[in-house]
Amino acid sequence: MFRFILTVLILLTGTPALAQPLIIAHRGASGERPEHTRAAYELAIEQGADVIEPDLVMTRDGVFVDRHENEIGGTTDVADRPEFAHRRTTKTIDGVSITGWFTEDFTLAELKTLRAKERLPAFRHGSAAYDGREPILTFDEVVAIARAASARTGRTIGVAPELKHPSYFAGLGLPMEDAFVTALTRLNLTAADAPIIVQCFEVGPLERLSKRVAAPLAQLVAAEGGPADRPDLTYAVMITPEGLKTTATYAAWVAPEATLVLPRDAEGRTTTSSALVGDAHAAGLKVVVWTLRAENAFLPAERRRGQGIADHGDMAGYAAAFAQAGVDAIFSDFPALARSGLTKH
């Protein structure tokens, strides 16, 4: 038990990488239960996840809640609730116009009356069968799930919160960074050895957090575009050797989209590994890739099985390929399949 706990803490806190990557349950076992629910997190832990991930947005009264986006029309039953029909509106978030219902227009008490539903029902009929059963969780409740599971299993279960749109929320008078530091302090998660990885696509919030807490931080990067708070910067520049050295001044991890590590050709087949993992390690950064999903629609061509886009392919083999590429952690909607692939690796 001690060796397992030590392994998790080493990877979370920045000591030299071990052979088998961490499995981070992306919003829980979100391929099998509605994302960001207690059921999804509990199943993920049962399936061997080392870390569970909550995406954090804010309520009108300044509480962190666990949703993929602040627009909740696609992940809750809010559209079916006549008492909230008048809250439907259109907003511009990070330059994109979005119509729906937004967490910042609800109090926590109001959000707690809603129930979660499957975000991708066309792909995940089994998960959609659990619609309507689970409430929205707060960040504190997700941490409590991880801690209870750690005590129950004898394994250290970490959390990997992602701060969503902090610049947007700051513009609404909801300073996410201040509230987050307060939450981390209250939850005793500020230390360098805390079982946490804090993620964000923006740069400024991570730079500022690095001066306020010692907890490990992860810079998310996508295959296209750039940070919403840095119009002068692209993700492509951030993953160059020099860009990675800059990231290493404030973060312990870089978190690239999976195709930045294992690129795909014009036919959608995996090609030779990029230099990103080696460059990141040379800069002193660990690498966590996102997001491995089992459905053919999300897999490279050589991993697809069956004819339908929702059919499951060889995600376990895909996870093993990332382990072979030297990554330190993997985000997956299917922790059991990821664990299977890494066990065989």
Task: Decide if 18 contacts 10 (C-beta within 8 A).
Answer: yes
The CATH class given to the 2-69+123-344 domain equals alpha beta
- Specify the amino acid at residue 98: I
Predicted pLDDT at 343:
87
| H or E element that contains 10 | helix 2-13
- pLDDT tens per residue, the chain (345 residues)? 333 344 454 455 454 444 589 999 999 999 999 999 999 999 999 999 999 999 999 999 999 999 999 999 999 999 999 999 999 999 999 999 999 999 999 999 999 999 999 999 999 999 999 999 999 999 999 999 999 999 999 999 999 999 999 999 999 999 999 999 999 999 999 999 999 999 999 999 999 999 999 999 999 999 999 999 999 999 999 999 999 999 999 999 999 999 999 999 999 999 999 999 999 999 999 999 999 999 999 999 999 999 999 999 999 999 999 999 999 999 999 999 999 999 876
- At residue 326, the 3 state secondary structure works out as coil
User: Position of tokens 């400024």?
Assistant: 204
What are the backbone angles phi and psi of residue 188, rounded to the nearest 5°? 60, 50
SS3 50: coil
CA dihedral 188, 191, 192, 194 (to 10 degrees): -10
Peptide bond before 15: cis, by omega within 30 degrees of 0?
A: no
CB 21 within 8 A of CB 342: yes
Strand ranges, E, within 78-131: 89-93, 96-100
pLDDT value at position 344? 74
Element spanning 51, H or E: strand 51-52
Q: What is the pLDDT, as a whole number, of residue 310?
A: 97
Q: Quick one: pLDDT at residue 19?
A: 58
Helix axes 38-46, 139-153, angle to 10 degrees: 30
Q: What is the pLDDT of residue 297?
A: 97
| Cα–Cα nearest to 286, from 318, 244, 258 | 244
Residue 304 is predicted with a pLDDT of 98
Domain boundaries, the chain: 2-69+123-344
Query: What span, in angstroms and rounded, lies between the C-alpha atoms of 245 and 238?
Result: 9
Q: Give the single-character DSSP code of 189.
A: -
Determine the pLDDT at residue 345: 65
